[in-house]
Structure 1
Amino acid sequence: MIRSSLPLVALLAAATTASAGAVHGIHPEDINRSGDPCTDFFDYANGAWRQQNPIPSYMDRWSRRWQSGEVNKEHVRDILTELSARTDWPKGSAGQLAGDFYAACMDESRVDALGSQPVQPWLSDIAAIDDAAGLQRAIRTLHDVGVAVPFQVSAGEDLHDPSKTIAHVYAGGLGLPDRDYYLKPEARFVEARAKYLAHVATMFELAGVPAAQAKQNAQTVFAFEKRLAQASLDNVQLRDPKLQDHATAFADLSKLAPHFDWEAYFDAAKLPRDALNVTQPAFVQQVDRELATTPLPQWKAYLQWHVLNAAADSLSKPFVEENFAFNGRFLTGATEIKPRWKRCAEATDQQLGEALGQKYVEKYFPPEAKARMQEMVKNILLAMDDTINELDWMDPATKKKALEKRATFFPKLGYPDKFKTYDGVVVSRDSAWDNVVAASRWNVADNRSQIGKPTDRSRWGMTPPTSNAYYNPLQNEIVFPAGILQPPAFDVNATDAVNYGAIGVVIGHEISHGFDDQGAQFDAQGRLANWWTPADNRKFQARGECVVKQFEGYFIEPGVHHNGKLVLGESIGDLAGAKIAYRAYLKSREGKGPEPTLDGFTPQQQFFIAWGQWRGDETRMETQRTMVQGDPHPIAKFRVNGPLSNLPAFREAFQCKADAPMVRPEADRCEVW
């Protein structure tokens, strides 16, 4: 991480001074005073805010958290507006790349005037394919710019030696959210398939294909993708790293897919022939069957569709609106497309995020914020140590291994030590799509450049302005970009109760991912290796089953409930995250005395209200249906009520009776960590 010239002690003093100015706590005006915290804490914590702040037409969910994310985009817009106002940036500089990329995207009149012209050469090249070799050249060309059809080769750590980065072959090439949309018989999936067929046909028509041929192409695309879906792992299976652990020698790739020229592919991509991992061998075998038996015209329709799908948001208004009609209005329930400046800000961050990020952290992540975050992370990691030490169900041998793993956690806060330079990327103000292609080509090449090398732990998987966080089990790292370290998640001027209740639970959540049903399969060195005694592993699995059962009982509408196995990891993260963040909060106040009661709420109550207000999203039903089907994260209501109903500390804070809805009976109470 970039070091400040100030020593840490001085930075902590600066954070304390900043906090001593205008300290604030929870938002009492957001609370539903007619509600009961012991009945439905999600409704209580910020029900008034949700009632007064309906979901904007262009969003699929809304809360102070999501509002903050949109304000964050305003900050990004301001930076990009300033950068794009100048045309004298040195060519290839961060200012020129981000500024010109944004300017070209914002030039709506030019984008509309070009229509489908920017993408027509790609469609024409695919139409000209006349043999198997030409088909494989087209696949390689699409992979070069990040269009992963029908598979993808990407860099990643070796599952058994994470100090090395190898090539992983992943399944890809589906246009619907996941395999079940192609296969399940329920009415909502039947409707999705019909909408998708109409959407694909319309996109082909917009690109100039006659209506009858466009409809035929849509049928071809769907049938092709359905066959791929049938050969894919489902969402629950994809959560099991062991099912995707298939070390493969390069010479053996041809045995899986003899009709694909892997030599030519690796030559063109400049990839070494070292050991690699095939995540889904059955999928690769299905691709081989398609190469052997599917006629070229069907392959061409499939590839052309994925070009159109990838390019849609960079083309003229009819493409953008049709893409939104399916992926926005139908799948998420949003009724209006986002303003163009937001879409362009998001696209710039996605493609050139570390060029943009340099400017972002200068303005929005001061040293005192980083210092206070470092202190919180340290305290929450120590709280995890205490929790492990006190477990009564884990024997000393496993406990020792768990503590060894915790000791190797590697936090990343704010931004990378070294920003990417994007050397060689050519961005102009002429064509938004051409800029996307240029940036994507560089990002793919940058990813490929890591294959065959020692793993570079300085690299980040999210850009600095991103309002999110992640845990990577192979590097045992917890990562918090500057974009999430903003109010209401984190504020140097907030009380400890609020910071620990909001970003603190997020920190605890990411730490807990190292010990959820997935993370627990990786050891202190990030290797996919068992470190459990058989007896302790059985106890751990049983504790996870308690969480599975709890979330299976959460319905979004009659007949549609959460898949407990799908959301198990995130739910363990929320449960343990709230527990250890609360413990760290109490520990942080030792020697300082308790914080004051504010607006009638004790510090302990403020902690839990902060979590409810941070996580309290109102979510459109269409989005809930999509989430329940394929998102490992539960609906916000259950991310608030689910973990807290298991915590004695919550019950004590609000003096809930033993039979209150927010207090799970002791026999049903879940505790993993």
Structure 2
Amino acid sequence: MQKNLKNDYYDAINHDWLKQAKIPEDRSQIGSFVEMDIKLEKLLKDTINGWYKYSKTLPNDPLIHEYVKYYSMLLDDQKRAELGWEPVKKYLNTLEKISSFKELFSKGRDFWIQYGALPLSIDIFEDFVDNTKRIIWISNPEISILPSKETYQNQEASKLIEAWKKMVNDLLLSYGKTQTQSEKLINQAIEFDQLYKDYLLSSVEWANYVALYNLKDISEIKKISHKFDIPKILNDFVKRDVSNASVINSNFFANFDKIFSDENFEGYKALMFIKNLLGTTSMLSEEIRIKANEFKKVLYSIDRSRSLEDYAFDMTNVFFGMPLGMYYANEFFGKKAKQDVEHMVANMIQIYKNRLHQNTWLSQTTIQKAITKLSSIEVMVGFPEVIRPYYTNFKVKTYEQGGTLFENASNFNKIIAEYKISLYLKDEDRRFWGMSPATINAYYNPNKNQIVFPAAILAWPFYQLDRVSSANYGGIGAVIAHEISHGFDNNGAQFDEKGSLNNWWTDSDRKEFELRTKKAIELFDGKETEFGKVNGKLTVSENIADLGGFECALEAAKLESDFDAKSFFESWATIWRSKYKEGAAKRLLETDVHSPTKIRANVVLSNSELFAQTYDIQPEDKMYLDPKKRVKIW
């Protein structure tokens, strides 16, 4: 065992689990996060099914009542089968009748919101430089067949396109198209997609999200197209004159008129029709839903679609996940756990400050600015104080009232879209969360300088009240410190204590930080996995957060009277245990900003001086990393 620990710590600690764990047929992976999710899902489904079967047990919460109405509509596979494609025929026919880009652009905001059919994507999001207001962001629409630019460059791309073609053909025939009509639509769509893919941003470009901010005056935006009045579209969208917008993907917009030329209209229309058709399938019959999952199964190596009950749970949570999460937190989240985690967060922030005071590569000017940012972090644990107001407008129209799943979903999406648009040039309540409390995750928001820890992640193996504190520090403690570290990764470090894009570094400190960031890239780049190599540039922000968070959590653990280094390291390795199906692993290597879990566990451990001392790691051991190559940023 000792020899194995020194060569592959992750495999040695997780040996029995890795041998026995099986990936569920309807999932693409299994691991600590997924196991927790399965357990949480069972608890919530048992609760919901109790409400569904015995209405007298429903809590006195109008949103939960709407949840159960929508859930029951999804469970009614007989009614869904009876309706077939009928609920979406009018919707899709309207799209088919459009004959030109000119007509498409003239349709107006309600049509654009409902169909997402514009050749540009419009969103309302924080102004990075002034986070007290939200501005328009425009980018290329998310209409590509494959999920990323990297997937197109994969040698399996043609096989994946063929799987997509087969699925779409089956659905088009089911919809009522002839084989000839289906083939024509598919070929037109693929022809446009082959042109369009060249203008996609890479995953690395998306990961460097600060560089996506590109504020342009409306006069510059007008120059994007000589054919279409984009400023007018933006004005119509927010119902007021727009003075500027952030333009993501300059290369796409530099070629806008070329991509959306009249000769490309039929290809674009075919792809839009298919994309909109696919977008409706989860709200139709079980037969249609399962047919529409075939491409996803190939893409991520999933063996079967989700069961009817699981599907109903997933789809209801698309709209009602936050109200359900609030119920979960109020019923199942203990006050003691909240206090314990808040104590750990306070400790971790103080440790970070102490480490900054001892920092040898930063100037005092930058150190003081960093400490100011740390002191300003808003910490949110368990559940939000309030949720967004639009949930109260979600009123389910049941089958008995003449409603359909598609009609309800369309109404809910319009309510959400109108709410987002209403925030144009305004600030949003900082107390709102971007995650339900019933989520196995945590996040740092650079635009608000907030860290959020939902109630559901505060469970084993991340956290347990009655175990040695070092194990909790190696689990939830490392997660807490990881999220704090995101405020100081290659992206987060560019935002100030208020969450606005503002350079608070001296020039020399910034250069040194960039050199250390480069070393972090090199530490992970090219690391081999079963399904391909790690891209150090893609994963650098998460790797910086892992490296800094681990060291900070370890230092905090040392302050406790029951400190045990091995318990800390074992807990760290345990939280990252995972198994992936081939397709999922390949897609993650192409697009995920996180390194594969085994790499996260072992590389960070190899970078630790105390780990090397604890296990007497020598140069001949595979877990050994030359001290000169260790990366220390935070």
For the pair 1:526 / 2:499, whether they are aligned, the reply is yes
| Residue 611 of structure 2 is aligned to residue 650 of structure 1 | yes
Distance change (3 Å), C-alpha of 1:526 and 1:619: same
Equivalent position SS for 2:189: helix
Q: CA deviation at 1:635?
A: 1.0
Q: Secondary structure at the match of 1:276?
A: strand
Deviation, 1:149, is 5.4
Residue 449 of structure 2 corresponds to residue 476 of structure 1: yes
Q: CA deviation at 1:438?
A: 2.3
* Among 513, 519, 523, the residue aligned to 1:540: 513
Shift of residue 512 of structure 1? 1.0
Say which SS state the counterpart of residue 662 (structure 1) adopts: coil
Which residue number corresponds to residue 63 of structure 1? 31
The Cα offsets for residues 365-385 of structure 1, whole Å up to 9 and x where unpaired, read as 122221111111111111111
The aligned amino acid for 1:463 is: S
State the 1:139 CA deviation.
7.9
1:282 offset after TM fit, Å? 3.1
Distance 1:91 1:358, change over 3 A: closer
**What's the % identity of the aligned pairs?**
24
Provide the rounded CA distance (Å) in 1 between the counterparts of 2:221 and 2:487: 32
- In the alignment, structure 1 residue 624 sits paired with structure 2 residue 585: yes
Match of 1:81 in 2: 49
> Structure 1 CA distance, aligned partners of 2:489 and 2:382?
25
* Alignment check: 8 A CA contact 1:92 1:423 kept: no
Correspondence for 1:347: 315
Equivalence for 1:638: 599
Shift of 1:42: 1.2
Name 2:527's counterpart in structure 1.
554
Residue number in structure 2 paired with 1:99: 68
Q: Which residue does 2:385 correspond to in 1?
A: 417
- Deviation, 1:35, is 6.7
Alpha-carbon distance in 1 for matches of 2:502, 2:549: 24
Q: How far 1:234 moved relative to its partner?
A: 1.2
Matched, 1:567 2:567: no
* Aligned equivalents of 1:46, 1:246: Cα separation in 2: 45
User: 1:5 is matched with which residue?
Assistant: none
1:569 Cα deviation (Å)? Answer: 0.8
Secondary structure, in 3 states, of the residue corresponding to 2:136? strand
Change (3 A) 1:549 1:429: same
SS at match of 1:37: helix
Would you say the 8 A contact 2:214–2:247 is kept in 1?
A: yes
Q: Is the 8 A contact 1:38 1:662 kept in 2?
A: yes
Distance 1:496 1:384 in 2: 19
**SS of residue in 1 equivalent to 2:621:** coil
Tell me how far 1:91 sits from its aligned partner.
12
Letter in 1 for 2:629: D
Q: Does 1:222 align with 2:190?
A: yes
TM-score of the pair, normalised by structure 1: 0.87
* RMSD (Å), alpha carbons: 2.5
Q: How far did 1:264 drift?
A: 4.7
Aligned in 2, Cα 1:534/1:151: closer, same or farther, shift over 3 Å?
same
TM-score (normalised: structure 2):
0.92
Q: Is the 8 A contact 1:256 1:281 kept in 2?
A: no
Is 1:303 the equivalent of 2:276? Answer: no
**Alignment partners' CA distance in 2, 1:94 and 1:652:** 54
- Pairing of 1:358-369 with structure 2 (within 5 A): 358-369=326-337
Question: 1:425/1:51 Cα in 2 relative to 1: closer, same or farther (>3 Å)?
Answer: same
1:179 alignment partner in structure 2: 149
Q: What secondary structure sits across from 2:396 in the alignment?
A: coil
Which residue number in structure 1 is paired with residue 284 of structure 2?
315
Output the CA distance in 2 between the equivalents of 1:99 and 1:171: 37
Q: 1:332 to 1:489 in 2, by over 3 A?
A: same
Shift of 1:63: 1.9
Aligned to 1:605, the other structure's residue is in SS state helix
Q: Is the 8 A contact 1:181 1:192 kept in 2?
A: no
**Ranges in structure 2 where 5+ consecutive residues have no aligned partner:** none
Whether the aligned pair in 1 keeps the contact of 2:326 and 2:436 (CA below 8 Å) is no
**Retained in 2: the 8 A contact 1:271–1:451?**
no
Q: Does the Cα contact within 8 Å between 2:33 and 2:440 map onto a contact in 1? A: no
Distance in 1 (alpha carbons) for counterparts of 2:157 and 2:572 = 34
The one-letter amino acid of 1:583's match is E
What's the offset of the Cα at 1:568? 0.7
How far apart are residue 133 of structure 1 and its match?
A: 4.9
Moved more, 54-63 or 166-175: 166-175
Q: Check if 1:109 corresponds to 2:42.
A: no
Structure 1, gaps ≥5 residues long: 1-32, 596-602
- Aligned CA distance change for structure 1 residues 227 and 269 (closer, same or farther; 3 Å): farther
Q: Which residue of 2 aligns with 1:13?
A: none
Once the two structures are TM-superposed, the CA of residue 137 in structure 1 deviates from its matched residue by: 5.5
What is the alpha-carbon distance in structure 2 between the residues aligned to residue 462 and residue 306 of structure 1?
27
Give, in angstroms, the shift of residue 131 of structure 1: 4.6
Distance of aligned partners of 1:408 and 1:159 in 2 relative to their CA distance in 1, 3 Å threshold: same
Instruction: Quickly say closer, same or farther: Cα 1:86–1:247, change in 2 above 3 A.
Output: farther
Equivalent position to 1:337, from 305, 315, 327: 305
Report how far residue 269 of structure 1 moved. Answer: 4.7
Whole-Å Cα distance in 2 between the matches of residues 269 and 203 of structure 1?
36
Q: Is the 8 A contact 2:474 2:572 kept in 1?
A: yes
Cα distance change on mapping 1:375 and 1:318 into 2, 3 Å: same
Residue 672 of structure 1 is matched in structure 2 by 633
| 1:510 and 2:469 correspond | no
Structure 1 residues 405 and 244, CA, compared in 2 at 3 Å: closer, same or farther?
A: same
Cα gap change, 1:286 to 1:219, in 2 (>3 Å):
farther
CA contact (8 A) 1:35 1:44 kept: no
Q: For residue 461 of structure 1, what is the amino acid of its counterpart?
A: G
Contact kept, 8 Å, 1:146 with 1:440, in 2: the verdict is no
> CA offset at residue 528 of structure 1?
2.0
CA–CA separation in structure 2 for the residues paired with 1:639 and 1:439: 39
- 2:410 match: 437
> What do residues 57-104 of structure 1 show as CA deviations (whole Å, max 9, x unaligned)?
122111233111111112221332244346698999212221111111
Q: How many residues align?
A: 626
Alpha-carbon distance in 1 for matches of 2:487, 2:416 = 28
Distance in 2 (alpha carbons) for counterparts of 1:207 and 1:388: 62
User: Counterpart in 1 of 2:376?
Assistant: 408
Post-superposition CA distance 1:601-639 (Å, at most 9, x none): xx2111111121111111122211111111111111111
Once the two structures are superposed, the pairs formed by residues 275-294 of structure 1 within 5 Å of their partners are: 275-294=244-263
The Cα offsets for residues 115-171 of structure 1, whole Å up to 9 and x where unpaired, read as 222222211111122454541356844652484754322222111111222222233
